[in-house]
Structure 1
Amino acid sequence: MSLEHTIEHLRCLKLTGMITGLEHQRSQSSYGALGFDQRLGHLVDAEVSQRESQRFKRLIANGRLKVFAEPEAIDHHNGRGLDRSVVADLLTCGWIERQQNVLITGHTGTGKTWLACAFAVQAARNGISIGYRRVGRLLEEMEIAHADGSLPKLRGQLAKTKLLILDDFGLTPLNGRGRADLLELLDDRVGSGATIVAGQMPVKDWHAFIHDPALADAIMDRLIHSSHKLALKGDSLRKARSTKARE
């Protein structure tokens, strides 16, 4: 069988990573000194690497993150309230596998959304499905889903997402249906997924914000249990960057 015929078979089998690896081996004379097992191993590695890259791109696209934040760029400067060891532990993604939550709070511009998205990017690197929603927009979407009958489908999609970011919690007042929908969403995720909740309001004020003692107890129980809390401090990072840019 000719090499071209072999490549055509690989293409039919959708082993494009192996084709790329084979073309690379043909262009590098150094591969001629390697044995069959080693060259085959390099081809398999090329296929695995390409598939992982494609999956990562797909997870990022489906996640619809507000910002693509690379974990390596997390700012640990003094006064921000970030413990390097805590962040390093969260970047292992073990908490996601244990279906735990991360609650990120802080004033406007302190980097809550960026940090949440950085954790999501790290999760995608590990092959974990991710999703991003602003709480106000999501509750509007669920309100529409109630009316057109698509709510079960939407809830199913959210429940299947291994890591879901709920951003801007506390920014929009909750009505009765919103409180109930939020509880159902969080209840569906118990034992099936991890959630990051980000908002300006300190966690201690969330119960009063929900404004319904019974539902607040239920919602907070699902959020607080086995959660990691990050309270960001300091001035607005956006303001600091803007000032630096003008200097």
Structure 2
Amino acid sequence: MKTKKVVINKLSRGEIYGAMRLMKLGALLPLVRNQLENNLEYADLSFEDRIGTILYEAREQFLWRQLERVYRNGSHAKPVGAVKEEIIYSPERNLNCEVIKTLQSMDWVKGQRPYYVTICGQSGTGKSYLTEVLIREALEQNVNLCYYDFSKFMRLTEGLSSEEEFDRLADRLNRKDLIIIEDIGLFRCTEGVIKMLFRLLDKRLGSGALLFTSQYQVEDWYEYFAGELGDNGIADAMMERLKNNSQSIELKGPSLRVNRVAI
């Protein structure tokens, strides 16, 4: 059997950097340069470990840029760098570790029958932190998603008047595998927002995932969905679609912002 000849490196260090730029591998360039120029630090590592170190750092940087873009497009807030390893599962928090692991798997988004998730709890109980963990997991698994805080979601519906305009916006949003809307109930709900929320709850039933967060328990959303006109019909329809197709998480305990601990 003919032995395959080992190719000896014929590139200088500068040519290596140039080749990476040529092949649009610029994101890896600082990491490769660090290993080449600090050779003693990495000398005892295997080739696999060295490549793994480079790709791990590159992946983390890539995911962070994606996360920042998601928040920039849909929120006034910035990601805090939430990590799943630092979630606290103390009994007072009412947070089930197995439920969170299931959500991190993204089966509720990518499975045969996607469903909705609600995360409720008073201010400071960790809703946004947990949401960021799930967004990062979704990005890592290449889930096509969009994220809005409630004020920016409300702006999507401003200026819409005809049913066709609402349908077009709903169709555009429904191209996403996952839609996240934070702080349901934080502001007075307009008729346009109610129309859009109903379309999302209705059209995504069994075919697309939604994640809502709120300071209010899901049971209290009925009056909110009924709106100023007291439309119990649409409130009934929205609550029925939500309750029968969702995983509910109700966070409890004192505010975790006091000492800025992991949440």
TM-score by length of 2: 0.70
Give the whole-Å Cα distance in 2 for the aligned partners of 1:178 and 1:17.
40
* Structural mapping, 1:1-247, within 5 Å: 2-3=11-12, 4-5=14-15, 7-16=17-26, 20-21=31-32, 24=35, 28=39, 49=56, 52-64=59-71, 66=77, 67-68=79-80, 69-98=82-111, 99-144=114-159, 155=170, 158-190=173-205, 193-211=208-226, 212-238=231-257, 240-241=258-259
Give the whole-Å Cα distance in 2 for the aligned partners of 1:169 and 1:31.
50
Q: Is the 8 A contact 1:56 1:127 kept in 2?
A: no
Higher helix share: 1
Give the whole-Å Cα distance in 2 for the aligned partners of 1:145 and 1:61.
28
Stretches of structure 1 that go unaligned for 5 or more consecutive residues are none
> Structure 1 residues 75 and 230 mapped into 2: Cα distance closer, same or farther (>3 Å)?
same
Q: Is the 8 A contact 1:71 1:121 kept in 2?
A: no
Greater shift, 131-140 or 153-162, is seen at: 153-162
Q: Give the number of aligned pairs.
A: 237
1:197 deviates by: 0.8
Tell me the SS of whatever aligns to 2:252.
Answer: coil
Stretches of structure 2 that go unaligned for 5 or more consecutive residues are 1-9
Give the whole-Å Cα distance in 2 for the aligned partners of 1:106 and 1:29.
50
Deviations 1:7-26 (A, max 9, x none): 53332111346765487368
> Structure 1 residues 154 and 21 mapped into 2: Cα distance closer, same or farther (>3 Å)?
farther
Q: Is the 8 A contact 1:130 1:161 kept in 2?
A: yes
TM-score by length of 1: 0.74
The one-letter amino acid of 1:24's match is Q
Tell me the SS of whatever aligns to 1:103.
Answer: strand
**What is the aligned-residue RMSD (CA, Å)?**
3.7
Give the whole-Å Cα distance in 2 for the aligned partners of 1:12 and 1:87.
42
> Structure 1 residues 146 and 48 mapped into 2: Cα distance closer, same or farther (>3 Å)?
farther
Tell me the SS of whatever aligns to 1:116.
Answer: helix
Q: Is the 8 A contact 2:166 2:196 kept in 1?
A: no
1:47 deviates by: 7.3
Give the whole-Å Cα distance in 1 for the aligned partners of 2:101 and 2:175.
26
Identity %: 25
Q: Is the 8 A contact 1:17 1:47 kept in 2?
A: no
Give the whole-Å Cα distance in 1 for the aligned partners of 2:42 and 2:129.
43
